Amino acid sequence: MTELVRLSKRMSELGLCSRREADEWIARGWVRVDGKIVAELGSKVLPHQRVSVERQAAAEQSKRVTILINKPVGYVSGQAEDGYTPAIALVKPENRWPEDKVQTVFHPTQLRSLVPAGRLDIDSVGLLVLTQDGRIAKHLIGETTSVEKEYLVRVAYSKPGRLPDADLRRLNHGLSLDGKKLLPAKVTWQNEDQLNFILREGKKRQIRRMCELVGLRVIGLKRVRIGKVKLGKLPEGQWRYLRDDEEF
C-alpha cells in the first residue's frame, strides 16, 4: 500500500488514540512523523512512515477515566432524549460504589468527553461503559470489534408449551435483521424463563428483535459482562472506575 492516508486515521489504525484525540494532539504539536513534528490538521502520511507521540500526549491519556455503571431502567445511554435522563447524570460522588477500590478522586472534569462505549436501551439494565479513552471506545464499538457481551434475558413464550429446540438453534445462528444475517451467538437456557445470550455484535434492540422472531417476549434484560469485565456486585444506579488490572 502506497496510498496517502490522513494522519489522524493512521493514528487510530495504529491504536495510538481515537481520531478526535489525534486531531487534538496534532494541533498541539504532540505528533511526529519520521521524527518531525507535524502540526497541520488534515496532514497525510504513507503507511510505512513512523508515527510517534510526545510524552505530553501519553501523560494526558493516562489521566483519562473509564467508568462502569449499573444502569437502571428509564435512563438512556447517550444524549438526553424525549425528556429521559442520560446515564452520565448518575456519575456523581454520592452514587459512587462505596466498595470501589480505585484510588482515583472524582472531579467534575472527568465528565468532559465521557462517552458511552456501546448502548443499552432505556428498558434494559446492567453494565454500561462510559470512557474518556478513545482506544477503549474503538475497541468496544469499532467496526471490527469482536468483544463478547453477555446478557441475562427473562422471557415469556407466546405459544402453548415451551420454545422448540429448533427455535433455540435459530437464536444461536440462523436469524437475520434488516436483511442481514446475524453473526453466530451463544444462547442457552439459564433457568425455565431466563436465557443467557452472548453476542459479538450490537444492533439496535437486537436481543428483543431476535426473541420476537421465535415468539418470545422479553420481560427483562440485563447486561452482565463486556469482554472480561463483569458487572459483579455493583448495585443498580451506582458506578465505579475501571481498575488497572481489568481489561475488556
- Which tens digits make up the pLDDT trace of 21-79? 899 899 999 999 999 999 999 999 998 999 999 988 877 776 789 999 999 999 999 87
Q: Output the CA angle 222-191-158, nearest 5 degrees.
A: 80
Compute the half-sphere exposure of residue 46: CA atoms within 13 Å on the CB side of its CA.
Answer: 5
Which pLDDT value is given to residue 62? Answer: 65
Give 69-125 pLDDT, tens digit per residue.
Answer: 999 999 999 876 778 899 999 999 999 999 999 998 898 888 888 889 988 999 999
Residue 87's nearest CA partner among 239, 216, 245, 197 is 239
User: What pLDDT is stored for residue 107 in this prediction?
Assistant: 86
Q: Mean pLDDT, the chain, as a whole number?
A: 91
Query: Coil, strand or helix: which one is 211?
Result: helix
Average pLDDT over residues 117-145: 88
Asked if 185 contacts 172 with a C-beta cutoff of 8 angstroms, the reply is yes
Q: What is the pLDDT, as a whole number, of residue 168? A: 97
Where do the CATH 3.30.2350.10 domains begin and end in the chain?
149-226
pTM, full prediction: 0.79
**Residue 165 DSSP code:** H
In sequence order, the 6+-apart residues with CB closer than 8 A to the CB of 15 are 135, 138
Q: Where in the chain is the domain with CATH 3.10.290.10?
A: 5-62
Domain 5-62 has CATH 3.10.290.10: yes
Instruction: Please choose, from the candidates 10, 8, 13, the residue with its C-alpha nearest in 3D space to the C-alpha of residue 25.
Output: 8
Note whether 10 and 4 are within 8 A (CB): no
Write out the CATH class of domain 66-144+229-241.
Answer: alpha beta
- What backbone phi and psi angles, to 5 degrees, belong to 125? -125, 170
C-alpha span between 137 and 149 (Å, rounded): 14
Of 114 and 210, the structure prediction assigns the larger pLDDT to 210
List phi, psi (to 5°) of 71: -75, 130
Which residues of the chain does CATH 3.30.70.580 include? 66-144+229-241
Query: Tell me, what's the pLDDT at 18?
Result: 78
Question: What are the residue numbers of the active site?
Answer: 121
pLDDT above 70 covers what percent of the chain?
98
Reported as a pLDDT band with limits 50, 70 and 90, residue 1 is low
The CATH number of 149-226 is which of 1.20.1260.10, 3.30.2350.10, 3.40.50.410, 3.40.50.620?
3.30.2350.10
Q: Could you identify the residue written with the cell 446492567?
A: 126
Q: Which residues in 28-48 are b (16+ Cβ under 10 Å) and which e?
A: eebbebeeeebeeeeeebeee
Q: Taking residues 207-226, what's their average pLDDT?
A: 97
